[in-house]
Amino acid sequence: MFVAVIILSLLGFIFGISLAIVSKFLKIKVDEKLERICKILPGANCGACGKAGCFGFAQAILSRELSLDCCKVASNEAKVLIADILGIKFEKKVRLVAVVHCNGGCKVKDKFIYNGIEDCIYANLELGGQKECFWGCLGFGTCVNACPFGAISMSAEKIPIIDTNKCTGCGKCVEICPKKLFSLVPVNYDVYVACNSFDVGKLTRKICPVGCIACGICTKVTNSTFYIKDNLAYIDYDKIKDEKMLYEAMSKCPVKCIVKRP
């Protein structure tokens, strides 16, 4: 009994001492600022900043490699807190949210029956997808799974709907959509062009009832806040003076492809 106790404690002692010595050699310094920043960051590890996760981003802003603006997810209040820790000033910016530039969905017919993997990226490999419109949404909801915040859902019309309150503007959906239908827009304007078709108006009209035919009415009505490029209308956010103009363009659009965010 006595021997057992001695031997066990001896073993424990030896292991303890050797671990202590090794830990001295393998020590790493941890900056306490790093942990504090990590706690404030969203912790979604979305990777939109270009780093592997929020931990990597915290390291990058500590070493001044990236600026705070690179994180699109953290709220302005959180950024102010982080700026306090870093000892720098932070200027508030308008939050960006994602919008889908397509409203076709079920209204656009299929050109062939697609039986492959139910994923937009794979469907896109087959002649650019099964929809008649080459530019539009394929409706398999790859973006729904890609969103780290659960802000995207598919509507009954097979078009992604974005919950503006949940959207943080991380840009994951912009990256993953094979048709490049998403873009990030300032949250304070809730009108956008729901079409992505570069086809000429005649062809678009034939395929899709809500596709932009590049008639240019929106440009005339809003005094060039809207502009037409490659048979498609865009909003020039820098030129917006009056929000009412956007609504006017929305009501004047003959195909109703300028819509209001839900």
Minimum CB distance to other proteins smaller for 121 or for 127: 121
CB of 45 to other proteins, least distance (A): 10
Minimum CB distance to other proteins smaller for 101 or for 172: 172
CB of 145 to other proteins, least distance (A): 10
Minimum CB distance to other proteins smaller for 7 or for 125: 7
CB of 56 to other proteins, least distance (A): 8
Which residues of this protein are in contact with other proteins, per CB under 8 A?
Answer: 3-4, 7-8, 11-12, 15, 18-19, 22-23, 26, 28, 52-53, 55, 117-119
Minimum CB distance to other proteins smaller for 8 or for 106: 8
CB of 23 to other proteins, least distance (A): 6
CB of 211 to other proteins, least distance (A): 31
Residue 57: CB atoms within 10 A of its CB come to 28
Question: DSSP of the chain, one letter per residue?
Answer: -HHHHHHHHHHHHHHHHHHHHHHHHT-----HHHHHHHHHS------TTSSSSHHHHHHHHHTTSS-GGG-SSS-HHHHHHHHHHHT------PPEEEEES---GGGSPBSS---S-S-HHHHHHTTT-SBSSSSS---S-HHHHH-TT--EEE-TTS-EEE-TTT-----HHHHH-TT--EEEEETT--EEE-----S-HHHHHHH-TT------HHHHHTTSSEEEETTEEEE-GGG---HHHHHHHHHH-TT--EEE--
CB of 16 to other proteins, least distance (A): 8
Minimum CB distance to other proteins smaller for 17 or for 200: 17
Minimum CB distance to other proteins smaller for 30 or for 251: 30
